[in-house]
Structure formats: structure tokens, C-alpha cells
Amino acid sequence: KRRRTEAVEIEDRLESLIIRVGEKSTSSLESNLEGLASVLEADINNYKGKILKILIDCAVKMPEKTTIYTTLVGLLNAKNYNFGGEFVDMMAKKLKEALKACMWRTARYVLRFFSDLVNCHVISTNSLLQLLLTFLETARDDNSPQVRSDTYVYAVLSCLPWVGRELYEKKEQDLDRLLKHIEIYVRKRSRKHVPGLRVWRSDRPHPQEEYLDCLWAQICKLRSDMWQEKHIARPYVAFDSILCEALQHNIPQITLPTHHQDNTYLFPWVVFRLFDYTDCPEGPVLPGAHSIERYLIEEHLHNIIKEYHHERKQCAALLLDFPLKHKIPLEYMIVEVVLAELFHLPGPRYIEICYGSLLIELCKLQPATMPQVLAQAVELLFDRIDTMNVCCFDRFVNWFGYHLSNFQFKWSWDDWLEAAQLDSSHPRAKFIIEVLLKAMRLSYRQRIAEVVPEQFDCFVPQKPEPVYKFCADSTADLPGMDTAHRLESAIRAKGTVTELLAVLAELPNPLRESEDTDPPYNPLQIQVFVQSILHLGSKSFSHAFAGISKFLKAFESLVGNHEEAQMLVLKEMHEVWSTHQQMMVMLCDKFLRTQIVSCATVANWVFSKEMVPEFTKSYIWEILHGTIRKMNKHVARLQREVNEARERRVGNDSDDSSDSDNEEQQQQQQRPRPSEEEIERMEEKLEGAQADQKNLFLIIFQRFIMILSEHLVRCDTDGRDFNTHWYRWTIGRLHQIFMMHNTQVERYSQTLSTLLFTQDLDPHILDAFNQFVALRS
């Protein structure tokens, strides 16, 4: 037994040595690598399996240390040819698995590792070329979507910074042929998806390039520089005399898995460009947009964020401690990369607050430079906001409001004074209005009013106050006034639902036309009831929520399932709280959760006549997206339940029942197996929810099509330019629905294209749909 523990200790030690090689150390990387190679060589016979596994993990999971591990493998191969061969075979296996499982990142890093192994004389140049050509064959496959070949071509292109020079020196003609293939492919690709993924509509001052186009341009530039790049550290150069003695292996033949409809590929993206070298006047020069260094550094920074986004402090520290920090304007590159992730379309990789808190940490850690660079970034974003994508506009507002709240709302507001002269629907004016609204939510109105210059009084939000139309000192003689006052007293006296309904029963029903008709609901009752409840619960969210929960039965009896009645609830809410956007957002949420109103009603309300003046304000869209999200979550939950039930029905409870840590799992296993009928009932429920979801999207898209078509036609007949602020906000919001809920909308895309987005539609509207479809084609 002791021998076993000893073996485990040795394995742990080897693992730690391998993982940590290349970290800061007192001796040189070369001598560390040499030492480690000797240690491993001595242990290869006894611990081969373990060493192989660790090396492969490192190769895949630490791409920033690729060249360190390829050198190590090179040294080991020089000492032990068979070991090198086994390593190559295992990596090839890893690649096959990754391709099959659509793990494109892993696949790309294995391919890159293979490329760099050519530099270390572990792999023959010909066999790498063969593999790269195999990848490029996908470009000629017309029976699979473009995203598939894009994914493979991208993997090949992203290897070339590592192995381009070697191929150029040894196999120039083959390399030329390879590049020719890529060039032909890049030229003929469809770019329908690009407009939908751009942060800005405009290419000024910086072109907004699609990722593959951009990398291709960077590779072309590298080629014209004779494949010399200055970013990648190449420790194997020092070992050239040892490595060139070694024998090389061939990568085993790899056949690519064919396309399957369930496969997911890389979502295309557009490279975010905010700065160029003129923006960072002091210090080292920012690499140009087509310099390969820009790509390599950006990729490295993105990888740091990916690896450490859970730990914002560590993440910030590692970003600022970037290895080449003295050779580049690091703060600029970090800010560009973090904002690129925040503005990424269709959605950011991680939740928005992750980037917000990371930027705060960066400012705290580097207070001498970071806040200035970030402020400069905000200035540029503000300058370019006229053509900014609406999804990104919202994220910009949310982030900036939050950021300011962490820094006492200090900002050079005076630089933006000109915006006060603009139309309030102009993007710049709107940005300031919305930022102040967000800032106010995180603070209070007075503070915001004091912090901005007086010229911005026009932008400062109104004081959030309820307007109760049955107010006692109101002089207006409204129908229902007396009842409202009696209702208030009844509520204050802790009356029951029955008592309240009795008070309301005295109101006549304006919908009743004759004695015989019995209208489904009484609008006056709803008006009086909703106004009173919200008025009495106006002190805080909790008060409002408590009122709604307490009188849920009254809501049910007054409103029921009638769309018009539900609509009335929302209208009354808006009348009471029109100056308090956050309250309306919260109340809508509460009404949906308590099923007082349906998702479809909220959607119809957003597009209703009464809401026209509110239509371009952000909170309306916060409400609508919240509504869609709620529906999506509901469907997802029912789907999960059906899947789980089906699994339990088949009976997968034999495995892992000893795992006592996982309490939830155990609980699940204790539940009895569902019967076939139970599953059927669950499936029916799911189908019902999916029908509601589909209906919700149909309503929303139909309303968009109606108002946009109407606008376009009216402008056409009046001979006016259709391209107004209103039009751009509205088309932007339509686009936002597609982007934010693209996975859910995708399920109904067939229906949408046959029912709504038909060919006779105005191309401006149809474009939004086509861009969305192109994301996956």
C-alpha cells in the first residue's frame, strides 16, 4: 500500500512540475525546460500514461503556453522516439473526439499544437500539410452550412502565425497552394450575416470586419512580411541542435466527421475595433488592425478573461500583468477586448455585470492610467453612438450608469453640453437621458440633478411619483370617485376580497348596452380597483407587491382571461406610475408572475396606441424582453421536466447512486418512476407552452411589421425620408428581438418565413429576418 501512495505522490509532483513550467522563475525558461525533460525522461517508463495525459491536458487547456509545451514534447521526442509517437497518436485521438463533439476550441488548439510540433521536429511538414488540406476540403463541401467550413478554415488560418515561417522556408509551393485554396474560399463566402453582427453600421473611422475576413487580411499581411512575427516566444529555437537530430512522426490519417443537423458551429462575429495608434499617443505603438500581433494579443487577453472571469480581482491582475506589457499600449488593448466582449453580438459571453465589475477592478488596480483610458473609450463610443447597434446601445447605457455609480457619478459632463440642443430622440440625447435614468435608479433624483450641469435639466428624469386619479382633493368629478374612496377605506380597514368586490359591485358597467347583455368584465371596476391598490401600495415595491398578492383573488374575479381587461390593468398602471419606470418594470413582472396578465397582453400593450409616446424609451424594451425571457424560461423548465421524466421512465438510476455528495440527484432517484400517462400530460403542457411562445413571437413580429410598413408607406406617399430617428430605433428594436432570443426564435423560423417575413415585404424589414437566418447558415 505504501508503494501506491508513493506512486501517487510522484504523479502529483510530476503534474505540478509540468503545469507550472513557464511560470516566473529565478532560472531561465530554457534551463527549466531542459531540467524538466530530464526528470520526465527518467520517469517515462513507470509513469508514461500519466505524463501523456498531463501533457495533453496542458496542450489543450493552456494555449498561451503552446510553444513551451511543444518544446518540452520536442525534447522528450529527441530522447525517446516512441514516447513522441504515442503523444502524437493521442493528440490525434483528442482531435477526432473534439471534432465529433463540436468542441471547436479544443480542435483548434490541437491543430495549433500540431503546427508548432513541426517547428520542434516532432511532426513531419508533409503530414501537417496533409491535415491542413483535409480541413480545407470542407470549403468545397456544398452540402453543409457555411458556418461549418468557416469553423475549419478559421482553425487552419489561426495556426499559420506559428508554422507559417517554417512552411515558407521548407515547402513554399505547398504553402502557396494552401493559401490559394483559402483565398478562393474567402472570396466566395456569403456575408449576409455581417450587418446584423456589427456594433456600428458605419465603417468610419474603423472598418468593422468579419472575423474570418479580418484574420485572412492579417495572415496576408504576415505573408508579405515574410512570415516574421514578434509576439510568439519560441523557446525551441535555443534547442535547435538537439531537436534537429530527432526523427519525425506522421499525424495519423484523420477523416472529418460529416455534417449533422444537430451540430453547432462557431457563431460568426465581427471584430470590435475602437482604437488605432493615433488614440494612444504616448508609449509603445498599438499594432495595426491587420497586424498579426493584434490578433495574437487579443486572443491571449480573451483567453485570460475566459479562464479567470469567475475571479474578477485575479482576472484584472493577470490582464495588467500581461507578459508583453512593455511592448504594447496594454490598457488600450485591455479596454478594447473587454468592451468587445461586452458588446459581442448576439449576446455577451458572460453576464454584463461581469464586465462591469472587471472594469471597476481594473480602474482600482491601475488608477494612474486605467480610468483615463476608459474615459477616452467612453468618449469615442459617445462620438460614434449615432450608428451604434441598439443591443449595444442598451448595454453601453447599463454599464456606464453602473460604472458611474461606483465612482460618485464623476464625469466630464460639460464635454457633452452640445447634446442638450439635440432632438430628444437623437441617439446622443437619448444616451444621456437613459444613462441618467439608470444612474437615478442606483442613486436618487436629487443627487443626479446636482451632479450634472444645469444645461442638462432637460435630461434629468422627472421625480418618480404616483398619480392617483381618484385623489381626495382632486376637483375633477370622475365616474367611480366615490367608490374609489369607499374601496380605500375598506382596504385600510383590512376588508376581505368579498367585501372589496361588494364595494366595486355598485359601479355600473359602461360596456352594458342593454339589460340582456352581460359584458365579460367591467372596465370601471378594474380602473377603480387597480388605481386604489397601486395608490395604497405606492410606498415601496414591497408594499405594491404585498397589495397585489393579498388581493390576487379580486384580480382574478375582475380581470379573468380577457385580453382587453388585462390590457386595462396595464394602462391603469401606466397612468399611476408613468414617472417611475422601474416601478412599471417591476409591476409588469409581478403581474406576469401572478398571471394577472399574459405575456401576449404585455406585447400588445407595448405596441398599443397609448404607448406610442413611450415606444422608443428603453424601459419599454426592458419590459418586453423581460416578458419574452419569462416565457422562454417557462418553456425551458417544462422541457427539462419532460426530459428528466423520460429518463427516469427508461431508468437510469443504476449509475452513481453511491455519490452521497449530490443530494439533489439522490432525491431525484428516490422519486417514483413516472407513468406513461404522467409523461403524456407533461408533454401536453409543454406543447401548450410552446404554442404560447410561438404566438408571442408572432404577435411581436406582426406588430413590428405593421408599424414599420405603415411608416415606410406613409413616408413614400408624403415624399419624406423614411430614415428618421424613430425608424432607426424601431428597426433596431426588431433586430434586438432576433438577436437576444435567437435560440428560441430559431425554432419558429420556418413559420415566420411562411407567415410573416414573406418576399413581398419591404426589403428593409425583411433584412432583419434574413440577417438572423444567416447566423446559422
Please report, as ranges, the residues that interact with other proteins according to CB under 8 A. Answer: 310-312, 351-354, 356-357, 360, 398, 402, 405-406, 408, 438, 441-444, 540-542, 545, 582-583, 586, 663
List, in sequence order, the alpha helices (H) in 309-455: 312-320, 330-342, 352-365, 370-383, 390-406, 427-442, 445-451
Looking at the Cβ atoms of 237 and 353, the one nearer to other proteins is 353
Least Cβ distance, residue 591 to other proteins (angstroms):
15
Least Cβ distance, residue 353 to other proteins (angstroms):
4
CA dihedral defined by 125, 126, 127, 132, rounded to 10 degrees?
90
User: Do 147 and 138 contact (CB within 8 A), yes or no?
Assistant: no
Q: Is 249 helix (H, G, I), strand (E, B) or coil?
A: strand
Least Cβ distance, residue 553 to other proteins (angstroms):
21
Q: Which residues are CB-contacts of 614 (< 8 A; sequence separation ≥ 6)? A: 574, 620
Say how far apart CA 543 and CA 586 lie, in whole Å. Answer: 12
**Residue bearing cell 342593454:** 514
Looking at the Cβ atoms of 292 and 544, the one nearer to other proteins is 544
Least Cβ distance, residue 468 to other proteins (angstroms):
19
Say how far apart CA 30 and CA 235 lie, in whole Å. Answer: 7
Looking at the Cβ atoms of 188 and 310, the one nearer to other proteins is 310
Least Cβ distance, residue 352 to other proteins (angstroms):
7
φ, ψ of residue 195 to 5 degrees: the values are: -55, -35
Say how far apart CA 277 and CA 209 lie, in whole Å. Answer: 18
Least Cβ distance, residue 585 to other proteins (angstroms):
9
Looking at the Cβ atoms of 105 and 309, the one nearer to other proteins is 309
Least Cβ distance, residue 653 to other proteins (angstroms):
22
Looking at the Cβ atoms of 308 and 413, the one nearer to other proteins is 308
Max Cα-Cα span within the chain: 105
Looking at the Cβ atoms of 188 and 539, the one nearer to other proteins is 539
CA dihedral defined by 73, 77, 78, 81, rounded to 10 degrees?
180
> 710 vs 139, 392, 451, CA distance in Å?
43, 27, 42
DSSP string, 660-690: TT-HHHHHHHHSPPPPHHHHHHHHHHHHHHH
Least Cβ distance, residue 662 to other proteins (angstroms):
11
Least Cβ distance, residue 246 to other proteins (angstroms):
46
DSSP string, 595-626: TSS-HHHHHHHHTSGGGGGGTTSHHHHHHHHH
Least Cβ distance, residue 372 to other proteins (angstroms):
20
Name the residue among 486, 564, 565, 568 with its Cα closest to residue 532. 486
End-to-end CA distance of the chain: 58
Other CB atoms within 10 Å distance of the CB of residue 444: 12
Looking at the Cβ atoms of 262 and 661, the one nearer to other proteins is 661
Looking at the Cβ atoms of 2 and 310, the one nearer to other proteins is 310
Looking at the Cβ atoms of 305 and 705, the one nearer to other proteins is 305
Looking at the Cβ atoms of 40 and 584, the one nearer to other proteins is 584
